Amino acid sequence: MSQESSAKPAKPAKATADPAHPVAQPGSSDFIVVSNRLPVDRVPQEESDDGWRRSPGGLVTALAPVMATREGAWIGWHGAADETLAPFHHGNMDLFPVPLSADEVELYYEGFSNSTLWPLYHDVIATPEFHRTWWDTYQVVNKRFAEAAASAAAPNATVWVQDYQLQLVPQYLRALRPDLRIGFFNHIPFPSPEIFAQMPWRKAILEGLLGADLLGFQRPNDTANFLRSARRFLGAGVKARQVHVNDASGHFSHISRAEPFPISIDVAQIQQLAKNPDVIARAKQIREDLGNPTTVLLGVDRLDYTKGITHRLKAYGELLDDGTVQVEDAALIQVASPSRERVETYKQLREDVEGMVGRINGQHDTIQNTAIRYLHHSYPVEEMVALYLAADVMLVTALRDGMNLVAKEYVAARGDNSGALVLSEFTGAADQLKQALLINPHDIDGLKAAILRAVTLPKAESSRRMRSMRRQILAHDVQRWSEDFLSTLAQKAVRDDS
């Protein structure tokens, strides 16, 4: 199978046709984000007015508002195979699409990124597969992203590489452009060395990451896991979260620093929408459409096996079976946005979830009431905030999650301090949202008890908990996250230069 891109020759994207905003010339961008996906995905014309749709996932949710306030360039794949697009302007960003052939989508994206790294880094909830052809393509594609960044960057520019799909980019980029300041942020967990040990190419991955001047992780534990792996598998000298990195001939090259930077959300945007009369009216409408039940419960996830959707459905189904929750009084809305649909584990999960929803609804629905409204769609942020406002109880039951921004968005939307959050202790968000009703999703009885508690929580207690969680989230938005990361990266460079 070919590992070179079989992409077609460059054609301009529709969004280029804005003469007022010419795209930055190669070699002139001072601030660059590099991620697997661009913030917008190319979709067939019939699916959107302009042929573009917002990309899925937490990474774009977090970085789009950061980039909106900084003029910068964003390098990433535009979500369609075998298509080469010219750079174009979007918002106030220059977008540089990186082409991927259909083979590369299969081997680099669906294969190594999402069937090897994703399950391995999420504590092997699913079994990771290790294939040499996938690894070969991962290297080829990571080189292409590094070359794109090297060509876009101005002298001494800052380049911020994102997430597990691009772990080799820092090293490749440093080799091409030693003048750059290189940051890397890992949005998902970093596993313990005992699990990371399974990776056949563990040394190469650690060396790839250590090309960065600053490595950011979600939790202190992820940072510690990475540093322990660097020590154990590379024999690297590690002191006070700083790794001494040597070049291929064993001479000192640079210091790479690893720190936790828990990511957050665009608090102002969510708060603004939560006060918008149209959004408030839509929330009311949602409750009416459900028959105005006493309690609306909500789950919002990418349809991913790490999110614990089946555990949540099992617990909720048993509460209905026990008669503790009645279909006339409560409705659960489960938004499960489509994700990685060609990967086998995701196809299986969809069958499992839809089978469970069908069984529970078949058993408990009445002509008037439906136990679970299952929505296999993605929604714009306005509709998401309306759902947050409509929900008395938010259920986040992930088995493992780097952060979970949905939990933070729910809290940001609840301006009147009402509402209860049931939150898995295996999410990064649990570090910050300590006043949530924390659960272990594997403990179904414990989960049932927490759901019941959330449904019946006295107003004074839910309000006290929500107020405390809101204090945390309002003081730590995504702008602060990016400023913390980028100022640490800038300080780091100053110290090394001195």
Q: Which residues are catalytic?
A: 187, 401
Q: Tell me how far, at minimum, the Cβ of 460 lies from ligand F6P, in Å.
A: 36
How many whole angstroms separate alpha carbon 381 and alpha carbon 386?
9
Q: Distance between CA atoms of 33 and 72, rounded to whole angstroms?
A: 8
Residue from 59, 64, 343, 433 touching ligand F6P (CB under 6 A): that is 59
Q: Considering beta carbons, is residue 56 or 446 the nearer one to ligand F6P?
A: 56
Number of residues that bind ligand F6P (CB under 6 A): 12
Q: What is the DSSP letter of 427?
A: B
Nearer Cβ to ligand F6P (117/356): 117
Token pair recorded at residue 139: 């290297």
- Burial, 341: exposed, middle or buried (Cβ in 10 Å; 0-12, 13-18, 19+)? exposed
Q: Any contact of residue 339 with ligand F6P (CB under 6 A)?
A: yes
Contact 464, 420 (CB under 8 A): no
Strands 93-97 and 88-90: antiparallel
- The tokens describing 487, both together, are 């100022």
Q: How far is the CB of 173 from ligand F6P (least distance, A)?
A: 18
DSSP code of residue 43:
-
Choose which of 7, 31, 42, 58 interacts with ligand F6P (CB under 6 A): 58
Query: Minimum CB separation from ligand F6P for residue 165, in Å?
Result: 6
We find the least distance from the C-beta atom of residue 76 to ligand F6P, in angstroms, to be 9
Smallest distance, Å, CB 205 to ligand F6P? 16
CA distance linking residue 86 with residue 433, whole number of Å: 43
Q: What is the C-alpha radius of gyration for the chain, rounded to an integer number of angstroms?
A: 23
Taking contact as CB under 6 A, which single stretch among the options 53-61, 321-329, 387-395, 414-422 is the one that binds ligand F6P? Answer: 53-61
Q: Is 295 an interacting residue with respect to ligand F6P (CB under 6 A)?
A: no
Candidate ranges 42-50, 56-64, 147-155, 321-329; the one touching ligand F6P (CB under 6 A): 56-64
**Scanning the structure block, which residue is given the tokens 């204090």?**
471
Output 78 or 364, the one with its CB closest to ligand F6P: 78
Report how far residue 398's alpha carbon sits from residue 309's, in angstroms, rounded to the nearest whole number.
7
Structure tokens at 188: 């998902």
| DSSP at 123 | T
Cβ closest to ligand F6P, residue 419 vs residue 428: 428
Using DSSP, state whether 435 is helix, strand or coil.
coil
- C-alpha 466/C-alpha 141 separation (Å) is 44
Q: Which CB sits closer to ligand F6P, 59 or 331?
A: 59
Quick check: helix, strand or coil at residue 219? coil
Q: Does 122 bind ligand F6P (CB under 6 A)?
A: no
Work out how close the CB of 41 gets to ligand F6P at its nearest, in angstroms, rounded to a whole number.
9
Binders of ligand F6P among residues 188 to 247 (CB under 6 A) are 188
- Pairing, β 40-42 against β 52-54: antiparallel
Structure tokens belonging to residue 388 = 């947050």
Distance CA 357, CA 249 (A): 58
User: In the complex with ligand F6P, which residue's Cβ is closer, 306 or 361?
Assistant: 306
63 and 162 Cβ atoms separated by less than 8 Å: yes
Among 57, 170, 208, 419, binds ligand F6P (CB under 6 A): 57
Give the residue among 129, 109, 119, 198 at the shortest CA–CA distance from 399. Answer: 119
Where does this chain touch ligand F6P (CB under 6 A) — which range of 57-65, 238-246, 344-352, 478-486?
57-65
Is residue 340 a contact point for ligand F6P (CB under 6 A)? yes
Instruction: Find the shortest distance in angstroms from Cβ 193 to ligand F6P.
Output: 22
CB 157 within 8 A of CB 203: no
CB of 77 to ligand F6P, least distance (A): 9
The rounded distance, in Å, linking the Cα atoms of 382 and 332 is 20
The DSSP bridge partners found for residue 346 are none
Does 76 contact ligand F6P by CB under 6 A? no
Quick one: which segment of 58-66, 149-157, 173-181, 354-362 binds ligand F6P (CB under 6 A)?
58-66
As measured in angstroms, the least distance from the Cβ of 129 to ligand F6P is 16
Out of 26, 56, 91, 293, the only residue in the binding site for ligand F6P (CB under 6 A) is 56
Cα separation, 285 vs 279, in Å, equals 10
Which residues inside 172-191 make contact with ligand F6P, applying CB under 6 A? 187-188
Q: Which residues contact 126 (CB under 8 A, 6 or more apart)?
A: 119, 305, 345
Residues in the chain: 498
- Residue with smaller CB distance to ligand F6P, 114 or 295: 114
Nearest residue (beta carbon) to ligand F6P: 57
CA-to-CA distance for 349 and 226, rounded, in angstroms? 30
CA distance 95 to 78: 9
Site for ligand F6P in 137-176 (CB under 6 A): 163
Stretch that binds ligand F6P, among 52-60, 214-222, 378-386, 450-458 (CB under 6 A): 52-60
Nearer Cβ to ligand F6P (316/346): 346
> Which residue's CB is nearer to ligand F6P, number 16 or number 114?
114
CA nearest 76: which of 17, 135, 159, 18? Answer: 159
Q: 345 by DSSP, 3-state: which?
A: helix
User: To the nearest whole angstrom, how small is the minimum distance from the Cβ of residue 69 to ligand F6P?
Assistant: 20
Among 37, 174, 254, 311, binds ligand F6P (CB under 6 A): 37
Nearer to ligand F6P, 205 or 371 (CB): 205
Binding residues for ligand F6P, per CB under 6 A? Answer: 36-37, 56-60, 163, 187-188, 339-340
